[in-house]
């Protein structure tokens, strides 16, 4: 049986590992993996120079490529080292034997010692390369496992097989095809295309949405004023590349604060977004490898009860209230721990018990004497400048906001009032996935979920390492970066040949360059991935349409697929046997696929990869 896996990232490798290790000894198996990037895939490609500098946002102790006994229906596990263990035990020898990897990785191995350290994305790619080598050694005589560093441009059904066309025109046949595609670039929007054309016409600089590691930033220097639109994870990549990447240095002073020493070659950067605030810093890790918070309120019975009360569908407002209640509970407990003498022991214990049965946690905390604890205000978290007076000096206030976020994150992802509460969002993702995949929301409520909950979740739970927020503050203090108020809007000034940004406080900023600091949307309709375009044209990938209560409709960006088998469903509503898809491409029909596998927690990537592999082997 010939199996083609499109994508050499963690998902593609997960399927390959299960195929190799779960196949019977007499099963003939030819597994071919295809990717235009190195093993590890686009995000983790260790040969992209900037991936030697850009950090992951998950600590090394919580990253793995190996199955373990936590994986639900995953087949017999074959454990192996997580990233931290591999760095300590196998990495030095592997790198010494593979001079194709940059010397910077050997230096990085020496630096990464603590479970809470953050590796570069390139190091994840080196780990993946080692994993692939390990896997090839597991292949039995009647099996093959190969990697071809080429893009697949077409997948065409032929009888009971599929013909794959590679970028160089080579064609191969496969019995089973797994698409683990990851993020793809998108067709530019009308606005983006206009900005690009404006930049070309006036010899300005424009970077469209893409992976920052692939952007040509060598064109930027001290003569440029760059407007960056976006304050998410991509923004922090650009932050580092346009400063340290230009020869600058961050140093700590005597009290541990970061200071920036410019090289003189940095551009001046003006950054902003619609929300106006960077992602919250990831709290210093205090959790063990597989430690998850156990919810007290956000439980499946509670969600089922709310669903039943809603006539079979969960109301979004009820869902959000339950999430906020869980976060508020953790927030109050952490505030209490920060003030151990604030309440007598007996009173503090009584408060903890009372919170478990309270309908209003904030009111209960006040009754017990916590009258000076600020409320956990989700609207204020979403809009930190909500109550800010018009005459406040915004840059000064914004720096104070960053300092508060940094100070909170330093208290840790279990004990910090905010960072400790926010980290819960990572731990309850599987429960949210269950809600989405079992249609708890109707079309109207799901639309609210996507538009309201998703941005909040991103804001508080997927932030960068704490050091990146410290660096942003240091850059603002050094006058290299400015951050606008919320609601940034960018226009062009043809007369002065400039990009112009304005914000909610009516501030105006001008520059000769514009960087779109975000990845493309996960949307089948605008994807430029050639294999997606090809399958879309054949009617094999189609977007589902949801109907609101008023009869109007909207489309999700993901392709329709069979939730049990992960096989594609075509335009006629028919399942396409042996053509599988999983991962980020399914975002919308599934929830939060942009994760890295974590040991011991039944991680979604390894779980779903195992299911697909076992489905394939059932045909062997």
pLDDT over 90 (residue 339): no
Backbone φ, ψ for residue 37 (5° rounding): -105, 175
Q: 504-511 — which CB contacts under 8 Å span 24+ positions?
A: 504/276, 504/385, 505/390, 505/394, 507/394, 509/227, 509/270, 509/482, 509/484, 510/225, 511/224, 511/225, 511/226, 511/227, 511/268, 511/270
Token pair, residue 615, equals: 């489905």
pTM: predicted TM-score of the whole model, two decimal places: 0.97
Q: Average of pLDDT values for 413-417?
A: 97
pLDDT confidence of residue 28: 96
Q: Average of pLDDT values for 92-119?
A: 97
- pLDDT tens-digit map of 78-91: 999 999 999 999 99
- pLDDT category at 328 given cuts 50, 70, 90 is very high
- Furthest-apart CA pair in the chain: how many Å? 76
Number of alpha carbons in the 13 Å side-chain half-sphere of residue 222: 8
Cα Rg of the chain, angstroms: 25
Task: Concatenate the DSSP letters of all residues of 152-185 into one string.
Answer: EEEEEEETTEEEEEETTS-EEEESEEEE------
How buried is 317 (Cβ within 10 angstroms: 0-12 exposed, 13-18 middle, 19+ buried)? exposed
E-state strands within 189-284: 205-207, 225-229, 249-252, 258-261, 268-272
- pLDDT category at 148 given cuts 50, 70, 90 is very high
Close Cβ partners of 363 (under 8 Å, ≥ 6 residues apart): none
How buried is 379 (Cβ within 10 angstroms: 0-12 exposed, 13-18 middle, 19+ buried)? exposed
Task: Concatenate the DSSP letters of all residues of 363-429 into one string.
Answer: HHHHHTT-TTSPP--HHHHH-TTTT--TTS-HHHHHHHHHHHHHHHHTT-TTTSHHHHHHTHHHHTH
Q: Average of pLDDT values for 20-34?
A: 96
- pLDDT tens-digit map of 514-559: 999 999 889 999 999 999 999 999 999 999 999 999 999 999 999 9
pLDDT confidence of residue 371: 87
pLDDT confidence of residue 366: 94
Q: In the chain, which segments carry CATH 3.50.50.60?
A: 2-185+522-617, 190-279+479-516
Helix (H) or strand (E) holding 303: helix 300-309
- pLDDT category at 132 given cuts 50, 70, 90 is very high
Q: How far is residue 493's CA from residue 511's CA, in Å, rounded to a whole number?
A: 10
CATH architecture of 2-185+522-617: 3-Layer(bba) Sandwich (3.50)
pLDDT confidence of residue 341: 79
Find residue 171's DSSP bridge partners.
165
Helices (H) and strands (E) in the chain, counts: 22, 21
Q: Average of pLDDT values for 19-34?
A: 96
Backbone φ, ψ for residue 228 (5° rounding): -105, 125
pLDDT over 90 (residue 76): yes
- pLDDT tens-digit map of 391-413: 999 999 999 999 999 999 999 99
pLDDT confidence of residue 604: 97
Q: How far is residue 536's CA from residue 557's CA, in Å, rounded to a whole number?
A: 12
How buried is 320 (Cβ within 10 angstroms: 0-12 exposed, 13-18 middle, 19+ buried)? middle
Q: Average of pLDDT values for 201-217?
A: 97
Domain 190-279+479-516 CATH class label: alpha beta
Backbone φ, ψ for residue 79 (5° rounding): -65, 155
Q: How far is residue 213's CA from residue 118's CA, in Å, rounded to a whole number?
A: 17
pLDDT over 90 (residue 120): yes
How buried is 107 (Cβ within 10 angstroms: 0-12 exposed, 13-18 middle, 19+ buried)? exposed
Task: Concatenate the DSSP letters of all residues of 524-574 into one string.
Answer: TTTB--HHHHHHHHTTSS---EEE-TTS-EEE-SSPPB-TTT-EEE-TTS-
Q: Which residue has the higher pLDDT, 255 or 620?
A: 255
Q: Which of 192-196, 220-224, 372-376, 566-570 has the lowest mean pLDDT?
A: 372-376
pLDDT over 90 (residue 340): no
């Amino acid at each position: 049986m010939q199996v083609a896996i499109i994508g050499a990232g963690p998902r593609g490798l997960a399927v390959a590992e299960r195929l190799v290790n779960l196949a019977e000894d007499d099963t003939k198996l030819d597994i071919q993996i295809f990717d235009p990037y190195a093993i590890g895939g686009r995000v983790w490609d260790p040969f992209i120079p900037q991936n030697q500098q850009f950090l992951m946002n998950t600590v090394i102790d919580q990253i793995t490529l190996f199955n373990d006994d936590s994986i639900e229906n995953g087949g017999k596990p074959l454990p192996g080292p997580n990233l931290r263990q591999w760095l300590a035990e196998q990495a030095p020898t592997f790198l010494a034997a593979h001079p194709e990897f940059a010397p910077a990785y050997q230096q990085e191995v020496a630096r990464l010692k603590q479970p809470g350290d953050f590796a570069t994305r390139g190091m994840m790619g080196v780990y993946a390369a080692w994993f692939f080598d390990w896997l090839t050694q597991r292949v039995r005589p009647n099996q093959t496992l190969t990697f071809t560093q080429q893009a697949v441009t077409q997948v065409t059904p032929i009888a009971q097989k599929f013909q794959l066309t590679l970028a160089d025109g080579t064609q191969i046949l496969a019995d089973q095809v797994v698409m683990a595609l990851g993020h793809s670039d998108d067709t530019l929007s009308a606005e983006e295309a206009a900005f690009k054309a404006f930049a070309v016409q006036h010899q300005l600089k424009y970077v469209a949405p893409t992976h920052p590691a692939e952007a040509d930033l060598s064109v930027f220097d001290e003569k440029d004023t760059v407007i960056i639109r976006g304050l998410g994870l991509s923004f922090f990549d650009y932050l580092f590349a346009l400063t340290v990447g230009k020869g600058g240095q961050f140093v700590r002073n005597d009290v541990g604060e970061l200071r920036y020493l410019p090289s003189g070659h940095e551009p001046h950067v003006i950054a902003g977004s619609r929300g106006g605030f960077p992602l919250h810093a990831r709290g210093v890790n205090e959790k063990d490898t597989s430690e998850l918070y156990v919810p007290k309120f956000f439980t499946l019975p509670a969600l089922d009860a709310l669903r039943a009360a809603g006539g079979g569908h969960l109301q979004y407002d009820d869902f959000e209230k339950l999430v906020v209640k869980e976060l508020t509970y953790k927030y109050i407990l952490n505030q209490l721990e920060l003030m151990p003498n604030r309440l007598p022991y007996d009173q503090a214990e009584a408060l903890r018990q009372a919170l478990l049965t309270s309908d209003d946690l904030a009111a209960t905390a006040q009754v017990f004497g916590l009258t000076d604890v600020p409320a956990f205000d989700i609207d204020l978290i979403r809009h930190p400048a909500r109550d800010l007076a018009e005459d406040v000096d915004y840059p000064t206030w914004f720096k104070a906001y960053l300092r508060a976020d940094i100070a909170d994150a330093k208290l840790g992802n279990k004990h910090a009032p905010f960072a400790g509460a926010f980290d819960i969002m990572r731990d309850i993702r599987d429960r949210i996935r269950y809600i989405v995949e079992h249609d708890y929301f109707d079309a109207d409520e799901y639309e609210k979920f996507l538009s309201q909950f998703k941005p909040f979740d991103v804001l508080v739970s997927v932030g960068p390492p704490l050091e990146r927020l410290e660096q942003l503050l240091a850059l603002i203090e050094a006058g290299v970066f400015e951050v606008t108020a919320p609601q940034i809007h960018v226009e062009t000034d043809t007369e002065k040949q400039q990009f112009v940004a304005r914000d909610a406080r009516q501030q105006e900023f001008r520059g000769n360059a514009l960087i779109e600091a975000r990845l493309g949307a996960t949307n089948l309709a605008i994807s430029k991935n050639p294999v997606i375009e090809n399958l879309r044209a054949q009617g094999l990938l189609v977007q589902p349409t949801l109907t609101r209560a008023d009869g109007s409709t909207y489309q999700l960006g993901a392709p329709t697929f069979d939730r049990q088998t992960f096989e594609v469903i075509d335009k006629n509503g028919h399942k396409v046997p042996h053509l599988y898809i999983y991962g980020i491409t399914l975002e919308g029909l599934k929830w939060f696929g942009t994760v890295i596998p974590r040991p011991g927690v039944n991680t979604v990537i390894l779980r779903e990869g195992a299911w697909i592999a076992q489905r394939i082997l059932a045909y062997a």
